[in-house]
């Protein structure tokens, strides 16, 4: 089977065995696809655009699907240029916190272990107007989740919290300034459990010891209360929403 991959550098054709997983195929051939959950199908970030062929994975309205859920059973052509759409989807498509149509602008923030993405959203139709992405500066405390959990002892937790909040604020302000927007109505912040703990200044050390009790120390109401305390300095009207990860 042939898998054709379209990127900014052109097209690459890979030969794939029937039954192979598309995400694993891309990773083994050095194609970067954001997949924070490691391919377990829970983060929603490994979206690629279907150009030709068929997929058994669910397609969204824009023609994107999660490549971790695609099993190769025929020739297919995909576009990796728009993989950042996956981060927007993950930050905004959590049902209890969907953005209701209204006038104004909002921000959808995705805190990844490697990178941070901020999306400026038109709330009247839920469409992203612009986006910005940067390496997560917490990488100076460690490249992976376990390293950052280990670094959270002592002053590390406070320093990592300050780092991510300052970075998100600066990225958001730049997007607003670029589009001459002085106010926005809503902010949604998403991320894996460790990234949300660090954003909230909560000790994540338990997650490095017992995966079965991840996030047991924070229920949803506590998350919102902590978000209220840690409100971004430039936020005008509404506290950030942190959907459970």
Query: Domains in the chain, ordered, with CATH?
Result: 2-83 (3.10.20.30), 91-229 (3.30.420.480)
User: How far apart are alpha carbons 52 and 104 in whole angstroms?
Assistant: 36
Average pLDDT over residues 194-218: 70
Average pLDDT over residues 33-62: 83
- Residue-level pLDDT at 101: 62
Task: For the chain, give the percent of residues with pLDDT over 70.
Answer: 74
Can you tell me the mean pLDDT for 63-80? Answer: 92
Banded model confidence at residue 213, pLDDT cuts 50, 70, 90? very low
Beta bridge partners of 117: 110, 133
* Sequence-separated (6 or more) residues with CB below 8 Å from residue 103: 123, 124
- Identify the weakest region by mean pLDDT among 132-141, 194-203, 217-226: 217-226
More confident residue, 225 or 80: 80
Confidence label for 198 from pLDDT (cuts 50, 70 and 90): very high
Higher pLDDT residue, 76 or 243? Answer: 76
User: Is pTM beyond 0.85 here?
Assistant: no
> Among 114-118, 125-129, 174-178, where is mean pLDDT lowest?
125-129
Max Cα–Cα distance, the chain, nearest Å: 53
Strand pairing partners for 76? 3
Nearest to 185 by CA among 132, 121, 242: 121
Q: Residue 218's pLDDT is what?
A: 52
User: How far apart are the C-alpha atoms of 127 and 187, rounded to whole Å?
Assistant: 14
Instruction: Annotate 112-173 with DSSP letters as a single string.
Output: -SSEEEEEEEETTTTEEEEEEEEE-GGGGG-SSHHHHHHHTTTTHHHHHHHHHHHHHHHHHH
Grade residue 88 by pLDDT with cuts at 50, 70 and 90: very low
Name the least confident of 36-45, 86-95, 134-143, 209-218: 86-95
Whether residue 18 is predicted with pLDDT greater than 50 in this model: the reply is: yes
Handedness of CA 21, 24, 29, 33 (dihedral sign): positive
Query: What average pLDDT is seen over the chain?
Result: 78
Return the pLDDT at 176: 92
User: How confident is the model over 129-163, as pLDDT tens digits?
Assistant: 888 888 888 888 888 888 899 889 888 899 999 99
Tokens of 201: 């200044």
Is residue 91 over pLDDT 80?
A: no
Q: How confident is the model at residue 20 (pLDDT cuts 50, 70, 90)?
A: very high
């Amino acid at each position: 089977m042939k898998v054709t991959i379209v990127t900014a550098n052109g097209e690459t054709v890979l030969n794939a065995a029937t039954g192979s997983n598309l995400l694993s195929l891309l990773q083994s051939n050095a194609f970067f696809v954001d997949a924070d959950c490691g391919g377990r199908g829970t983060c929603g970030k490994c979206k690629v655009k279907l150009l030709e062929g068929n997929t058994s994975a669910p397609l969204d309205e824009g023609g994107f699907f999660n490549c971790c859920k695609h099993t190769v059973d025929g020739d297919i052509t995909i576009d990796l240029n728009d993989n950042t759409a996956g981060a927007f989807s993950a930050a905004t498509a959590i049902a209890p916190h969907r953005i209701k149509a209204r006038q104004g602008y909002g921000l959808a923030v995705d805190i990844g272990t490697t990178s941070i993405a901020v999306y400026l959203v038109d709330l009247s139709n839920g469409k992203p107007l612009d986006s910005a992405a940067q390496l997560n500066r917490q990488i100076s405390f460690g490249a992976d989740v376990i390293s950052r959990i280990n670094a959270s002892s002592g002053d590390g937790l406070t320093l990592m919290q300050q780092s991510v909040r300052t970075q998100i604020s600066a990225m958001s302000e730049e997007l607003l300034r670029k589009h001459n927007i002085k106010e926005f109505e809503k902010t949604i912040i998403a991320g894996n459990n460790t990234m949300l703990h660090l954003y909230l200044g909560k000790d994540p050390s338990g997650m490095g010891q017992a995966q079965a009790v991840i996030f047991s120390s924070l229920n949803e109401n506590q998350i919102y209360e902590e978000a209220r305390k840690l409100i971004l300095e430039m936020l005008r009207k509404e506290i950030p929403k942190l959907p459970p990860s």
